Amino acid sequence: MSQPIYAIVAEFGDPDDLLVAAEKVYAEGYRKVEAYSPFPVHGVAEALGNDCSKTRWTCFLSGVAGGLGGYQLAPDDTRSV
Amino acid sequence: MSAREKLNDDLILGKHTFRTINDKVNNVVLNQNSHTIPWAVCFMVGFMLLQLMGLVILWLLYRGIGIWGVNNPSMWGWDIINFVWWIGIGHAGTLISAILLLLKQSWRNSINRFAEAMTLFAVACAGLFPLLHTGRPYMAYWMFPYPNVLAMTPNFRSPLLWDVFAISTYATVSAVFWFLGLIPDLASLRDKSKNPIFKGIFGALAMGWRGAASHWQRYESAYIMLAGLSTPLVLSVHSIVSFDFAVANLPGWHVTLFPPYFVAGAVYAGFAMVLTLAIPVRAWYNMKDFITMRHIDWMAKVMLATGLIVFYGYLCEGFFSWYSGNVFEIDMMRFRMFGPYGWAYWMLILCNGIVPQFLWFPKIRTNLVALFIICQFVSLGMWLERFVIITVSLTRDFLPSSWGYFTPTIYDIGMFVGTVGQFTFLMFGFLRVLPMINNFEMKELLYRMTGRGHHHGHTAHALEPDLAGHTAGDGEEH
Amino acid sequence: MAQIFHPRANILAKFSLILLATGPLLLLLIGTGVSRASYNTKVGMVADQPVPFSHEHHVSELGIDCRYCHSNVENSAHATVPPTETCMSCHSQIWTNSPLLEPVRQSYKTNTPIKWAQVNKVPEFVYFNHSIHIKRGLNCNICHGSVQQMQLASKGKAFFMVWCLNCHRNPEKFVNDPDKVFSIYEKGLKGTDHEYADLLPEERDILNSGEHTRTPEELAKGEAWVKKFGIKKKQLADCWICHR
């Protein structure tokens, strides 16, 4: 009867319950936590300590690269093949 | 469909739960019996016209664009008219998906998916025309500044080249935006589908979407950024299309008013097309709970507002040609009104100036039959607007010796009807294989409509147990 | 509910995403590479000829002038491939029994031209005139590579438009003394006492490869020639100059 516990799953009937639970779980010190929902519940990701700075940085750097690439399209009579 | 329906303040009607929304939206795709005879008729007619277009294009590639009515002095004819018309129609989709998102307009949620699809399919129709107009579509890559051995770069001073970039950017951003919004819904279809093949297809397209909080966070961040990218496109694409004319030094074209009034016209024609599709589709698939009379009323109001801007544009054109005192400008206006194409001008004023005034009346805005008919007038009017601008100016330029008359051939008509077929074919194909209404956004809307989604903070709030009908979670996806 | 995809599918998904981002760039790279490769340009590719004619032997070893065979190069649009009679002016006397020359004798007897495979060809939508280029001092090798070293004729340079324009936009990089166009081959004649003697660096480069980047002094001389010839640089790169 002493099987190890790999993970615990809980189902919530209401998005707000999920939000409350997420905050509590995070406050208890759990970090390997994920919440699933069929639509975005604002605040849950933040409550679990996620931030999406990676997306923002990727977008920013892609934008800079695209902008610089765009300037390369400018006609240049002197360039060779 | 009943002609009159009650205007309701709620954006979702009836007693809906997350599960019923999910089932209703997914059912259209997953249950093959949900498609009715009207669907089959539209799809097949579209398909047949598409085949007709294929034949016209084959003959065109074999014989050259001389089979069209375009000839000196009217080097632009139906091809460019249709191009501008289709591109304009696409604009409503981008406006709904991008600008209304940034403005936090909740009523975009049920109409954005198929409005965006409409954008893509309209751009696909539009793109065909300039491509074939070049006469050598297989050389189309010359329009891009690829590293070539010709020492040639495209002429960046030409608005026609700006067009290439405007349209290709528009098509790309619209497609990416549309696909990004589809991902969570594709995941829902993957989970609900019983057929293993469909499961695999939807699963591959959903790219491993699990609906995790981190997924949603990144999704929303990316989506809002794409909306930011699309927003200037709504204004820039048709401005650049209008430069095709405005930069040219031809009476009737060389007008600084063109960019704003083209953009307004684009949104105007676009909403007419959205309504043309929404009114029958919501009846056939019984989506009246999601695309409510309130949505229809608001779309009609947008149409009225943009229609007034367009009509104001016509008045300004008339005023400025008189006020300029320039003999060519004044004569241009005279030719438009009383010349050989006078019938087109007055039809245009009727369709875009007089008919939309009926939209002032709430009773007409909620009368679906009347609204549908008005939309057809608007579509015709916007087509005539481009016809008047292009043909009159080209056949009546500075020298009377180079005047002429433009007559379309059956191949012009074939191409136009063919693109209408292509659009119908793609649109009804889309209704069958992808969710026409944004599934998760509707669920989120329901959540917000219950008054709880507004609190974004971390404060926990007491649960209200009496929200009957709205509290049932979507069990399988938790 | 069973999983739809095996965990292995993740690598496929990542690979697809990377391909989506880099694919267009890769296609562009492949396209530019292939269009410049000799597979496409035929540079250095020996064509199948009825007679294995060696420019190296006839020019560098025997010292025959280019114009002996390509007789119209100075005064017509075409350099012209010589008629059989030109070959027979010598080969009626020497190597008269050589089996390699049988097609030449046959051609002479039956009065039908030899069907040489064309090696250098400008597209039909390009108007090109040999005589004006010779009269402005452009050595054969600048366009055709060092033909006098070719055992079997092959294309020396790829006739890209950007390559034409390289000179048409900056003629001072190439125009020269028209009297020296053919004399440099004499100086490079094999087995003679003046083999590669008293050649200017530029002439040596052109003789060896057709490639030379002019020094500022040489450029100044080029400018002087441009002035002397009255070349209108501004219109030299206009579309109609070549696409008439």
Write out chain B in H/E/C secondary structure: CCCECCCCCCCCCCCCCHHHHHHHHHHHHHCHHHCCHHHHHHHHHHHHHHHHHHHHHHHHHHHCHHHCCCECCECCCHHHHHHHHHHHHHHHHHHHHHHHHHCCCHHHCCCHHHHHHHHHHHHHHHHHHHHHHCCCHHHHHHHCCCCCCCCCCCCCCCHHHHHHHHHHHHHHHHHHHHHHHHHHHHHHHHHHCCCHHHHHHHHHHHCCCCCEHHHHHHHHHHHHHHHHHHHHHHHHHHHHHHHHHHCCCCCCCCCCCHHHHHHHHHHHHHHHHHHHHHHHHHHHCCCCCCCCHHHHHHHHHHHHHHHHHHHHHHHHHHHHHHHHCCHHHHHHHHHHHHCCCHHHHHHHHHHHHHHHHHHHCHHHHCEHHHHHHHHHHHHHHHHHHHHHHHHHHHHCCCCHHHCCCCCCCHHHHHHHHHHHHHHHHHHHHHHHHCCCCCHHHHHHHHHHHCCCCCCCCCCCCCCCCCCCCCCCCCHHHC
pLDDT(A18) > 80? yes
pLDDT(B7) > 60? no
Q: How high does pLDDT run on average in chain C?
A: 90
Q: Which of the residue ranges B209-213, C122-126, C136-140, C198-202 would you say has the lowest mean pLDDT?
A: C198-202
How sure is the predictor about A76, in pLDDT bands with cuts at 50, 70 and 90? Answer: low
pLDDT at B397: 85
Q: Give chain A positions within 8 Å (CB) of B447.
A: 15, 39, 41
Q: Is the Cβ–Cβ distance between B262 and B236 less than 8 Å? A: no
C155 DSSP β-pair partners: C43
For residue B228, which of B191, B269, B176, B271 has the smallest C-alpha distance? B176
- In this complex, the chains that touch C, judged by 3 or more CB pairs closer than 8 A, are A, B
CATH number of this structure's domain B18-450: 1.20.1630.10
pLDDT(B19) > 80? yes
Number of cross-chain residue pairs from A and C with Cβ atoms under 8 Å apart: 7
Contact partners, residue B396, CB within 8 Å, separation at least 6:
B251, B331, B332, B335, B339, B403
The domain ranges of chain C are: 9-36, 55-81+116-242, 84-115
B27-78 pLDDT, tens digit per residue, is: 888 888 888 899 999 999 999 999 999 999 999 999 999 999 998 889 999 9
C11 in contact with B, Cβ within 8 Å: no
B193-216 pLDDT, tens digit per residue, is: 988 899 999 999 998 899 999 899
C106-117 pLDDT, tens digit per residue, is: 999 999 999 999
C166 in contact with A, Cβ within 8 Å: yes
- In this complex, the chains that touch B, judged by 3 or more CB pairs closer than 8 A, are A, C
pLDDT at C183: 87
Q: Give chain A positions within 8 Å (CB) of B156.
A: 73-75
Interface with A, mutate which of B23, B162, B214, B456 (most A CBs under 10 A): B214
Q: How high does pLDDT run on average in chain A?
A: 83
pLDDT at B2: 44
Number of H helices, E strands in chain A: 3, 0
Q: Is the Cβ–Cβ distance between C68 and C86 less than 8 Å? A: yes
How sure is the predictor about C193, in pLDDT bands with cuts at 50, 70 and 90? Answer: low
CB atoms within 10 A of CB B454: 8
CB atoms within 10 A of CB C142: 20
A55 in contact with B, Cβ within 8 Å: yes
Residue B352 burial (C-beta neighbours within 10 Å; 0-12, 13-18, 19+): buried
Is A44 in contact with B218 (Cβ distance < 8 A)?
A: no
How sure is the predictor about B478, in pLDDT bands with cuts at 50, 70 and 90? Answer: very low
C43 DSSP β-pair partners: C155
pLDDT(B155) > 90? no
**Cα–Cα distance, A9 to B448 (Å, whole number):** 26
pLDDT(B457) > 60? no
pLDDT(B465) > 60? no
Q: Is the Cβ–Cβ distance between B69 and B454 less than 8 Å? A: no
Phi, psi torsion values for C154, nearest 5 degrees: -145, 165
C163 in contact with B, Cβ within 8 Å: yes
Of B14 and B113, more confident: B113
Q: Is the Cβ–Cβ distance between B311 and B352 less than 8 Å? A: yes
Q: Which of the residue ranges B344-353, B423-432, B456-465 would you say has the lowest mean pLDDT?
A: B456-465
**Cα–Cα distance, B216 to A40 (Å, whole number):** 6
Is C13 in contact with B207 (Cβ distance < 8 A)?
A: yes
Q: How high does pLDDT run on average in chain B?
A: 87
Of B3 and C211, more confident: C211
Is B149 in contact with C10 (Cβ distance < 8 A)?
A: no
pLDDT at C139: 93
Chain B CA closest to residue C239: B152
Q: What is the mean pLDDT of residues A33-37?
A: 90
Integer CA distances (angstroms), B381 to B205, B258, B266, B326, in order: 39, 17, 12, 28
pLDDT at B467: 36
pLDDT(B474) > 70? no
Q: What angle do CA B330, B331, B336 make, to 5 degrees?
A: 100
Contact partners, residue C174, CB within 8 Å, separation at least 6:
C138, C142, C167, C222
Residue among B148, B149, B199 whose CB faces C4 most closely:
B199
Q: Is the Cβ–Cβ distance between A18 and A12 less than 8 Å? A: yes
Q: What is the mean pLDDT of residues B90-101?
A: 86
Q: What is the mean pLDDT of residues B443-447?
A: 86
Q: Is the Cβ–Cβ distance between B370 and B364 less than 8 Å? A: yes
A26 in contact with B, Cβ within 8 Å: no
Q: Is the Cβ–Cβ distance between B45 and B378 less than 8 Å? A: no
B323-379 pLDDT, tens digit per residue, is: 999 999 999 999 999 999 999 999 999 999 999 999 999 999 989 999 999 999 999
User: What are B153's two structure tokens?
Assistant: 């770069």
**Cα–Cα distance, B136 to B131 (Å, whole number):** 8
pLDDT at B456: 40
Q: What is the mean pLDDT of residues B13-32?
A: 86
C163 in contact with A, Cβ within 8 Å: yes
Residue among B188, B458, B474 whose CB faces A23 most closely:
B458
Chain C CA closest to residue B199: C4
The domain ranges of chain A are: 15-72
| Percent of chain B at pLDDT exceeding 90 | 58
Q: What is the mean pLDDT of residues B445-461?
A: 56
pLDDT(B151) > 90? no
pLDDT at B451: 60
For residue B337, give how far its alpha carbon lies from the nearest alpha carbon of chain A (Å): 43
For residue C203, give how far its alpha carbon lies from the nearest alpha carbon of chain B (Å): 27
Q: What is the mean pLDDT of residues B406-431?
A: 95
C40 in contact with B, Cβ within 8 Å: no
How sure is the predictor about A51, in pLDDT bands with cuts at 50, 70 and 90? Answer: confident
For residue B268, give how far its alpha carbon lies from the nearest alpha carbon of chain A (Å): 31
Is B220 in contact with A40 (Cβ distance < 8 A)?
A: yes
Q: What is the DSSP letter of C118?
A: P
B180-195 pLDDT, tens digit per residue, is: 999 999 999 999 998 8
Contact partners, residue C95, CB within 8 Å, separation at least 6:
C101
C233 in contact with A, Cβ within 8 Å: no
